Amino acid sequence: MKTWTRKLFAVLMAAVMLLGAVPAMADEPVDITWFVNTGVVPSTWNTDYYVMRTITEKTGATVTATTPADDADTKLNLMILNGTLPDIITTTNGTLMRDMIAADLVWPIEEFFETYKPDSHLLKAYPEDIKQVLVERDGGWYALPSHIISADNREIWGLNESTRDLWIASDWRDNRGVIFNRRIMEQLGITEEELQTESGVLAAFEKVKAANLTVDGASVIPLLADGDSFNGKSWMCNWGATGFLTITFGGMPVDEEGNWVSYYRVPAFRHAIRFLNTCGQRGYIEANQFTFDRAAREAACRAGRVFCFMGNTADTGFNDVVNNGFFWYTPGPILSDDGATPVHDKASSVYGGWLQTFISKDAKHPEQVANFLDFMTSDEGLSCWNYGEPGVDVEVTEAGLYKRTEEGFKKANNAAVTGVGAFWAFCNQNWDQKYMDPSTDESIVPQCAYGSNEHVYRYNCIALENLPSGYMEADPEISIISNEMTTYVQTELANIILSVPQEEFDARFDAMVEQLDKLGLKKVEEYRNAAVQENYKTMNIKPVN
C-alpha cells in the first residue's frame, strides 16, 4: 500500500471510530500479579500455549505468578507488613489470612464482584454451605478456596449418570493407602489374597527381596515407605506411611474418655513403627529411600521398580495410563495380625478448601482480576485449564465425559510450562466429578478401596480435626514446640526404623516418647484437646471412642 493510501485509510478509520460506526481495537492485555504459596502455576506466561492464550483472550489479562520454593509464608508476611501485596494472593497460612483481613488489605468477595463484575457466576451460584464455613472461619466471605466439594456444590454441578455410582462411593476417597505392582506380583506368583494381611505382606516383601529383580538395570524396591514424607513431615505423624499403617492397624487419636491424644500414645502407632522397623531390619527398606523427594518417589514408581508403596498415593504417578498403564493393585486396608479393626476418619462437615485465594484492595487492574477469577472458576474456564485444547488435548465421550488424549497427558505432565492442569487454586472437585472420564484417572478406584472396604470402621472425626482457623499457630510457645518435635521425630523415627535391632525396639520407642514429652508433647496435646472438648459441646456430639 502506498504511503498516501495508508494515510487516507488511517484518517477514514479514525473518523468512523469517532462516529461510532465500528468499535475500536481491543486494548492490549494487562498484567496481573499473583502470589501462590504452593502449586505449579506457569512461571512464564506463554500465549503460544492454548491454555494461557485462551485465558488471556477471555480475561484481557496475562499473569505474573510468584511461587516461592521455600519460606513462602515469610515472604508473604513481609509483603503484608510492607503493604506491597500483589493483585491476587493464594495461601494456606491461617494466621496470615487473618492478618490480611484484620488489616483491611483484601476485598470481601461479594463486594468485589458486585463492584467490578456484577454478572459473575460467583454471585449467582456459589455453594452456600461452603460460603457459610468461610464466613464462620473468617468473619466474612473473603476467600475463594480450592478443591471445593460439598452437597450444595454437587447440587450446582450435578453428576453424569454414567459415573454417578462411582462418585457417590468416592465420598470416602483418601490419598493415604497402599498399592502393589501387579507386574511383579504376576512375575513372582504373588496373589491378591496374600496381600490382605500384615504377615502376608511381609512374606511378599521377602519373596521380592530374594528374587533380586531389576527393571532397566535398577534394583526393584520391595517397599517404598513414602520417601522423605514417611511421617508426613509433621510432629503428629498422621500422614505418609506412618499415618496409613496406624489407621490400618486400628489407631485413632483419642483415648477412652474422648480426649485427643497424639499417635505416640496409641498402640497402633507403635505397631506401625514396629512393622517399618521389621522392614528396615530385613532389608526391605534402604536408608537412601528416606531421602526420596516427591519427584524421586514418582520416578521410581513410574519406572515400575517399586513393588509396594505406602503413604500418599497421589505422589506416585500410578494413575498415568499413558506412560505405564494401570498395573497397581490395592487390598484397601492391610489387616493387622493382632485382629485390630482398620479405621477411617472422615469429618462430616463441609470442607473449607485447601488453597485460599484473596484479592488485594490495591489491585491495579481490578476489572481484569475479576474477569480472571470469574473465568478460572467457570465451566468454560475449568474445562480450559484442566484439559486444554478440545480435539487435541481432550476428547468428549458419547456420555459427555472428558478424556485426555495422549497429547493431553503429555501436557498435563508438564503443567508448569503448558498450563494444562496447573491452576490448583481453582480446583473444583464437584465439577471434576461431573465431567471426568474415570479411565483417565486410574487412581479413583484404588483410592476408594480403603474407605469402602467391609472391614473398615468409619467414624466422624469432625470434633477431633475441625479446629479454629490458625488455632495451633496462634500460641507462639505451641508453635515452637511443634517445630522442635517435627525436627526431632523425623530423624529419630528414621533411625529407629533403619538401625534399631528388633529386641531393642520397645526401649528405643519409649525413649523417643520420653524425649518428646521433655520437648513439650503433653502441653501441645492438652492445648489441642481443649479445642476438641469445646467442639464436643458446641457441635453437640459425643466423644469418639
Confirm if 527 and 478 have CB atoms less than 8 A apart. Answer: yes
Please report whether residue 134 resides in a domain.
Answer: yes
What is the model's pLDDT at position 254?
93
> Is the same domain home to 375 and 320?
no
Q: What is the CATH number of the domain that holds 124?
A: 3.40.190.10
Considering the chain, what is the average pLDDT of its residues?
A: 89
Residue type, 362: D
Residue found under cell 514424607 = 229
> Is the same domain home to 297 and 366?
no
| Cα gap 5→12, rounded to integer Å | 11
Confirm if 363 and 369 have CB atoms less than 8 A apart. Answer: yes
pLDDT in tens, 442-471: 667 778 889 888 999 988 888 888 888 778
Measure CA of the first residue to CA of the last residue in the chain; give whole Å: 85
Per the model's pLDDT, the better-predicted residue between 324 and 148 turns out to be 148
What is the model's pLDDT at position 23?
35
Question: Any residues with CB less than 8 A from the CB of 372 and at least 6 apart, and which?
Answer: 32, 55, 59, 61, 63, 88
Domain that holds residue 343: 176-348+451-459+491-509
Give the phi and the psi of residue 21 in degrees, each rounded to 5: -70, -35
Inter-axis angle of helices 366-376 and 109-116, to 10 degrees? 110
Evaluate if pTM is beyond 0.85. no
pLDDT in tens, 421-447: 999 999 999 999 999 987 666 667 778
Please report whether residue 544 resides in a domain.
Answer: no
Across the range 68-74, mean pLDDT stands at: 85
Please report whether residue 282 resides in a domain.
Answer: yes
> Is the same domain home to 343 and 196?
yes
Domain count across the chain? 2
- In the sheet that holds 61-66, the strands lie side by side as 61-66, 30-36, 88-91, 356-359, 144-145
Please report whether residue 430 resides in a domain.
Answer: yes
Question: Any residues with CB less than 8 A from the CB of 444 and at least 6 apart, and which?
Answer: 166, 170, 173, 438
Q: Is 41 left (phi over 0), alpha (psi -120 to 50) or beta?
A: beta
Please report whether residue 426 resides in a domain.
Answer: yes
pLDDT in tens, 98-118: 999 999 999 999 999 999 999
Please report whether residue 475 resides in a domain.
Answer: no
